[in-house]
Structure 1
């Protein structure tokens, strides 16, 4: 069991964030609410180091984290990492990162978690794939599902108020920008550490990145429903000592699988195909 950030994670955390963000805003041509904010990056949340080895998990992969000015967000996503990183840079003692590490590992049990966003996935995963965890403590326990069975990362580690990034620009940045290349190495390390049953990607912006850099060729597009909301791409990925299936769908919102019936159709189709990939 890993009890502290790996050097790969520390390399991402200790970059010059202001310099990274200034450069990436130019590279990605961000504007308005899509502009990246110069605060410490989001590396991952969920139990990477503290995961029980027999607990199956899913790696949930998004575009980039959402920035908020809410007090609780500022405390854990701005002030906490700033304090820990300043102390670590002054002392060189990794124990100064302990509070940040424990926050990230236990994120899904924290009150400061993004409840609205992650509960959608916790309920979906619990109803269809992790029934035992979902049924504990009275049932409908999305939080327990997430803590036991989900690790979440983003392709782009820096925050913005909205995710409005061009997929081609993002792919080129992941291939060439030092900040995103460092973060991609962390993503590959996490995959080989937690060995998820599958990767689940939400948001079309990431699809080209996944197909170009992680999947074994282009994925297969299928639609188990009768609207564009349920369009998915499936395929297989391999990194080092891990390989496994990939499910990619649209955001859980107006243009994607918003209703439980949409999610159920995707889950059923995924169960029918993922073991054949």
Structure 2
């Protein structure tokens, strides 16, 4: 799968250090993401980035986001390319960690059709099954979205790869950069049906007080027939995301963070996936 991903990425242009490259027809974002996540496993190599590497990642992601240079991310082993998603016709930039190494620090896709608007986060690919599919669909629905996909299974390296609970990760660096620019974060998770019977989706704002964006989302999901546990109104088991480090970041930055936990039944249904993504899109999450 890593070879297939590498071959797919050769179809797009490398982002130059002096000027942005021109978008070219490329592999679809869906195939790039699903090929990437298919390589992840609990026993894969992973190490947390050191402090100087996190600083380089912060500078590097900001430079790529602002269409400047990809040199810093390339120094960390990332490949950075431009392309056009065939499904939407919209240009994107993708940064992906080098495959098969301990620097399994993620995949980041920037929709270039509009200014950065929404951070769509998939912290547990290959563990919270199918969450990357929701991420792809919401990314494609939202001009200017930035898709963050963790580069390792959450159990890798004795769970140090669990980026939703570890600040020492490139994933958190990227989320910090986007929250620092005022972007709403939507983070996608999954739970086993039996962990919260009779509930389809748990919504929370993590460590934040729930705002209008969370309430609008809950209203739309309920209207579409989902059984929603609203963490700001009732207990939702251990699925409320109060210890989530990206959620804590949102409190510090006074930005919106929406933690979305979906049952296995919801995640296995393409029809229900479409309904969830539609509800998230109609909730106008870019507006607080």
Greater RCO, 1 or 2 (C-alpha within 8 Å, sep 6+):
1
Instruction: State the TM-score, normalizing by the size of structure 1.
Output: 0.39
Which has a greater percent of helix?
Answer: 1
Instruction: State the TM-score, normalizing by the size of structure 2.
Output: 0.38
Which has a greater percent of strand?
Answer: 2
